[in-house]
Amino acid sequence: MINFLKIEPLTEAENKTLIHLKPYWEKEAAKVVKNLNKWLKNFNAQDKGYLKIWTPENNSTSELIANAINFQNFYNIKIKTIKQNAKILNKFHKMIKQTVQLMAICNAIKIITKFYLEIERTEIENKPNFIISLINEKNMKLFENCKATLYQEIGADDFLDLKFKEVTVFDDRFFDTSLISIEILKYLRLLKKNKKITEANLLNSNYSLFVYENFSAFLKFYLKPFLSNIR
């Protein structure tokens, strides 16, 4: 699931667009990198270069994204074991959330660069709506991946079909499925209670929903300050 949040290093052209604004995400980025470094101690991996300490005073935005890419490779290896056990998954849920938060910050930066590169090439009539469309595009792709995971774990299901049909997209609003996700999670727990699905099915589905909803919320949170200043 986290692979669908994968980011590419900043290109020279993308990096140049960032001169247009103050990097308001720096304080949060430094905090989450520091927190994730603490988690590395649980794996005796704090000194293996998976995630370097990043500070806005000493490091660039390009280095932040390179750092996140490096940590994601470590995370992808460890999460396979973590999500196999409910107690272990619960123990590391903060680490998972913080990883998703870092991915959201980096994806928000990439969306900002995409916005500036596009308005340099094309006349955009409604810039706020264009930014919203970029945010929604990213979240909808991850939602589709989450949906595929649920069907893979549960199989064909009328309730899921019904809930997914309720999903709507508006040009001037953020894509939001949080209430639908809550209903689906309740339904999955009921299926597990009635022994219609296995513990592994529930854990994989729960993890997928958790990653998607947290990423969606973080991405919107980190782009709202930028969006509020665009006219």
Q: How far is CA 198 from CA 113, 116, 126, 187, 219, in A?
A: 43, 47, 48, 13, 32
Q: Rounded to whole angstroms, how far apart are CA atoms 124 and 228?
A: 17
Q: Rounded to whole angstroms, how far apart are CA atoms 52 and 127?
A: 36
Query: Does 55 score more than 80 pLDDT?
Result: yes
Q: Which two tokens stand for residue 197?
A: 């699905």
Query: Does 200 score more than 90 pLDDT?
Result: yes
**Domain count for the chain:** 1
Q: For the chain, what percent of residues have pLDDT higher than 70?
A: 98
Q: Mean per-residue pLDDT for 110-132?
A: 94
Q: Mean per-residue pLDDT for 116-130?
A: 93
Give 2's pLDDT tier (boundaries 50, 70, 90): low
Q: Rounded to whole angstroms, how far apart are CA atoms 190 and 186?
A: 6
How many of the other CB atoms lie within 10 Å of CB of 101? 23
Q: For the chain, what percent of residues have pLDDT higher than 90?
A: 73
Query: Does 134 score more than 80 pLDDT?
Result: yes
Give the residue among 211, 222, 216, 198 at the shortest CA–CA distance from 93.
Answer: 211
Contacts of 55 by beta carbon, 8 Å cutoff, 6+ apart: 30
Each residue's pLDDT tens digit, 158-195: 999 999 999 988 888 999 999 999 999 999 999 999 99
Q: What is the pLDDT of residue 4?
A: 62
* Domain boundaries, position 65: 2-228
Give the residue among 218, 229, 26, 13 at the shortest CA–CA distance from 108.
Answer: 218
Give 101's pLDDT tier (boundaries 50, 70, 90): very high
Give 1's pLDDT tier (boundaries 50, 70, 90): low
Rounded to 10 degrees, the C-alpha dihedral 39/44/49/50 comes to -50
Q: What is the pLDDT of residue 115?
A: 96
CB 83 within 8 A of CB 1: no
Contacts of 62 by beta carbon, 8 Å cutoff, 6+ apart: 9, 10, 15
Q: What is the pLDDT of residue 3?
A: 66
* Range in 38-47, 86-95, 163-172, 208-217 the model is least confident about: 38-47
Query: Does 65 score more than 70 pLDDT?
Result: yes
